[in-house]
Amino acid sequence: MDYKKIYEEWVTNPFFSEETREELLAIKDDENEIKERFYADLEFGTAGLRGVIGAGINRMNDYVVAKATQGLANYILHSRKQDKGVAIAFDSRRCSPEFADVAALCLAANGIKAYVFESLRPTPELSFAVRHLGCIAGINITASHNPPEYNGYKVYWEDGAQITPPHDVQIMKEVKAINVQDAKTITKEEAIEKGLYQVIGKEVDDAYIAELKKLVIHQDCIDKYGKDIKIVYTPLHGTGNIPARRILKEIGFENVYVVPEQELPDGNFPTVSYPNPEAAEAFECALKLAKEKDADLVLATDPDADRLGVYVKDKQGEYHCLTGNMSGSLLADYEIGQTKATKGLPEDGALIKTIVTTNLVNKMAEHYGVKLIEVLTGFKFIGQQILSFEQKKKGTYLFGFEESYGCLIGTHARDKDAIVATMALCEAAAFYKSQDKTLWDAMIDMYDKYGYHVDDIKTVTLKGIDGLEKIQSIMKQLKENTPKEIAGHEVLWARNYSNDTATNMKTKVVLPTGLPNSNVVYYDLADGAWLCVRPSGTEPKVKFYYGVIGKSLEDAQQLSKKFGDAVLNMIDNMM
């Protein structure tokens, strides 16, 4: 691909707006910037698009969004399900409403009705809306927890989950076949006149909240303690503010304090460099308010409200950060345990997790006598399992989560839902308070029951073309040269998901992994430890996930630190 030629086309062709051409002319003397913007198309991957906002084929802009939508429209037309329409939501990021309308008007130009939310909404509500409205697909304009300069475009299919095979591959093929100048569009006035652009809002909101309320297990505990429990919440300038506060208020929590500096939507995310509830800085304002109010728990949702970060207070008044593995396990134990206690568990009940999620829940599933299902990283694969249960009329979804702070309670949505997680965690706080316990007490009880598992992650950011090559080199080295030990733990099995092989390192027996091909390696280690390595699907990073088991929480934490240091050394040697 001749990036200079494509750059010249964008600069000189009147098809592109004057604003776009001016932005590109401003970089005419910056060879590296031109190359970065035009060396390749912004990849339409299995989760859709995600990239830096700006002009160019490797950036997020109106033209790239229109091209993606035309490809999606072509696939829908081939499927002959265009009459069902497409639901569209967007978050608080820069250009999100504009990108939503670009997509809607492209669909309308192809005769496909767009149901567009009147204002920003969380990702899980878009997932819900697809099925609630009977749509063939959904589009969500969001870059989730990425830095402010990013935006993205997620595609959902009619089951409410992000696209999986065969739809993802076929849609990608359609998108690649489109030239940016070939995407169709019409005016909003024409789309409305033809009945192909419909604004949605309150009716879907009410239906979504009603589904969440059905999932409450111990309303009696909320009625008794909801007036006493103090909750600090921050939406991190994103979409969670209204739905999170609404559900907590409607089920009976009265002391909810929202961080004022982070309450209102703002795509510049002025109080954080990185609006991610996994990052400590995201909680600085919230923890300050929590100490002022003596809050029992502190919650943060990311900009599209599919991830939930948590701090809980112990009886000594100290706040503890719960990782995604910790909060997910705590919620899984509460939901499955209390479902069993109140109405019993179905014989075909299943707990679903991704391969990079804590093995603590393996023991939990065994304890409750439910099936444990492991899937590749990405919540869409959990959604795929729910769909399979429905199609086969066999299997009952009990809980699903991934280590990256995302879970789903219920099947109203088919993606991570931080709004329902917020509701459930506050309910759990009320339930444990009825037993004179804090959520931290419940966490320690869980470790005592299932073992002291500590899981963590190290990431290396490698941007640009050179970074991509380094990431590919790291993965190649790991696949071709399996280490004998990692951090003092012998490697027992090496799973290479690229070629569907799981190799016993002693016997050399090779078995299939049982999962689809993916650019991932996983090492089962002695003493219950493990390491998994994969490139991020949404950011220029390679991720090293790992877990250890200790004799106590302190012992496990020390083992984890030692393991993390060894991983960093391994990365340095590979670079």
568-574-575 Cα angle (round to 5): 90
Sheet of strand 297-301, all strands in order from the earlier edge strand to the far edge: 255-258, 230-234, 297-301, 308-313, 319-322
DSSP 8-state code for residue 503 = E
The rounded distance, in Å, linking the Cα atoms of 219 and 250 is 11
| Catalytic entry in 92, 144, 518, 560 | 144
| Burial profile 134-157: b = 16 or more Cβ within 10 angstroms, e = fewer | ebbbbbbbbbbbbebbbbbbbbbb
Q: How many CB atoms lie within 10 A of CB 320?
A: 15
The rounded distance, in Å, linking the Cα atoms of 173 and 190 is 29
Residue 135 · residue 158 · CB < 8 Å: yes
96-97-100 Cα angle (round to 5): 85
Q: How many CB atoms lie within 10 A of CB 220?
A: 12
The rounded distance, in Å, linking the Cα atoms of 297 and 319 is 8
Report DSSP letters for 98-147, one per residue: HHHHHHHHHHHHTT--EEEESS---HHHHHHHHHHTT-SEEEEE--TTS-
The crossing angle, in degrees rounded to 10, of helices 18-25 and 3-12 is 130
CA distance to 42, 48, 516, per residue, from 55 (Å): 11, 18, 35
Residue 10 · residue 24 · CB < 8 Å: yes
The rounded distance, in Å, linking the Cα atoms of 370 and 391 is 20
132-329-535 Cα angle (round to 5): 80
3-state secondary structure of 374: strand
Residue 144: active-site member: yes
The strand pair at 396-402 and 452-461 is best described as unpaired
Contacts of 190 (CB under 8 A, 6+ apart): 108
The strand pair at 197-200 and 114-117 is best described as parallel
DSSP 8-state code for residue 540 = S
First and final CA of the chain: distance in angstroms?
A: 28
The rounded distance, in Å, linking the Cα atoms of 41 and 167 is 20
Report DSSP letters for 22-91, one per residue: HHHHTTTT-HHHHHHHHSSPPP-BTTBEEEEBSSSTTSBSHHHHHHHHHHHHHHHHHHT-GGG-EEEEE-
Residues belonging to the active site: 144
